[in-house]
Chains A and B, each alone.
Chain A
Amino acid sequence: MTTNTDLESRNAAPRQDSQDPSIFGQTPWQTVGPYFHYGLPWKGGADLVGRSDMGARPDLMPPEHFLLSGSNVSGQPEGEVIALSGCVYDADGKPIEDAMIEIWQANAKGRYASPDDDRADVALDAHFVGFGRASTDKDGIFRFRTIRPGRVPGPGNSLQAPHIALSVFGRGLLKRLPTRFYFADGDGNETDPILALVPEARRHTLVAQRKPDGTWWLDINLAGENETVFFDL
């Protein structure tokens, strides 16, 4: 403390915060916590094909506080309608009932509904956005209804096998965990440039299997035996 402080002109000590240029950079990730259900999964978020309430958990809030509206995507997208499901497990093999899954995928022809996919030779589908969001249910299970995606280019002249990008969120997850779904019978799985980077013994954690009822099923193990392969993007 100096003795000649000018009380009239002194400023409060600068405090570092989001507006401080000296620490400008990526805002850090934080968990969604356990109470996201009235704030994130909108009605029909998990239904990329029709209009339903799939993906939401209206059982977790009074009806007058379920303000998230339904999807407004109309019409029938082209392609094969598929059901995509799985269970999210923790390191001890316990199902996680407060996880959330998001998916991002190309349409049946292999085109992303994004300005950064500007390939004029592959058609957009006016009835398909390709993004979905699902809460897990009380048994840890998520369910999507979507379209089987077409193949999209990979690095160099490669072609990727049909796949869906996926993010896992939840209480206890400080960052989302990005991974992918492939299909057990997918064209080009053997030559897929991303699967090729995954040790062979772990590749099965990315490949959905078809159940007798037709559902494509892939469990997500956050840790433990058969830990799912997550990506560093």
Chain B
Amino acid sequence: MSRLILPYAGLDAGQPASLSPDYRSTVARSPRQTPIAIPQTLTEVTGPTDWSRLMGPAMADLTTQHKAEPQGQRIVVTGRVLDENGRPVPNTVVEIWQANAAGRYIHAKDDWPAPLDPNFTGAGRAITDAEGRYRYVTIRPGAYPWGNHKNAWRPAHIHLSLLGPAFATRLVTQMYFPDDPLIEIDPIANAVPMPYRQRMVSRFDIGTTVPNWALGYVFDIVLKGRDQTPFEDDHDDEH
């Protein structure tokens, strides 16, 4: 029996090149050969939807994971996961990790002199609902210095990891905050050409801000969508 494979679109013009020398770690870690284009098969158009059996349930509130509340500005981040045709991606996992309010990660290799917060880990996962909506509660991460070049600072950001429906739809990105002057001078954000870089900037939203409690930021995440024209394996069509 022939199979109808609906391939996903390729990466669009807004994706960064693997080799982006201003971000120095890419120099020794980027392929030099052109990636080989392959037709998408059942392998690429399927993907793990049973993530809850692997990872466990949602952990969408990062402010209640320890004995007391973490330090910092409490924020609520909401948004939708869509495909590039504008369709919601339901029941998919959005994994997040981030630094604390002082810009320090709870990671053994992060040793710059900013305080750790015993009440903040910075890891969570949210699940999209039937309309592709997700929501998590956290604190606003701080900026931090890094060794890329003299006086290099990363803009405040939250790391996000999405599986989507297929191997082909995998995405790892970073969400930035509006009005952060460090975005302009950050080699990682600027590996993405303008105006596409702006797709990684969240929007402050008074509508989702919770009075007397937390500021609201909105961030829609867009995954690759199915190509509009199916790839038909069967050449015996009726027309």
Contact = CB atoms under 8 A, between A and B. Distances in A.
B43 A25 contact: no
B16 A60 contact: no
Interface string B41-72: 11111111111111110010000011000000
Dominant secondary structure of chain A at its interface with chain B: loop
A60 B46 contact: no
B46 A114 contact: yes
B108 A60 contact: yes
* B interface bracket (residues with beta carbon within 8 Å of A): 35 or more
Nearest to B174: A30
A26 B224 contact: yes
B216 interface: no
A28 B107 contact: no
Interface string B180-205: 00000000110110011111111100
A225 B51 CA distance: 36
A42 B56 contact: yes
B127 interface: no
23 contacts: A17-B201, A18-B219, A24-B84, A25-B199, A30-B174, A35-B107, A59-B108, A68-B123, A91-B27, A104-B48, A106-B43, A112-B43, A117-B42, A131-B47, A131-B48, A155-B39, A155-B41, A172-B29, A174-B18, A174-B191, A197-B36, A227-B31, A231-B36
- Counting from the closest, the 7 A-B pairs by CB-CB distance are A39-B97, A172-B25, A114-B46, A131-B48, A172-B29, A69-B56, A232-B35
Interface of B: 2-3, 5, 8, 10-12, 14-18, 20, 23, 25-56, 59, 65-66, 79, 84, 86, 95-97, 99, 105-110, 118, 121-123, 159, 161, 165-168, 170-175, 178, 188-189, 191-192, 195-203, 218-224, 231, 233
Interface of A: 15-20, 23-40, 42, 45, 59-62, 64-65, 67-73, 90-92, 94, 96, 98, 102, 104, 106, 112-117, 129-131, 152-157, 160, 163, 165, 167, 169-178, 193-194, 197-198, 222-223, 227-233
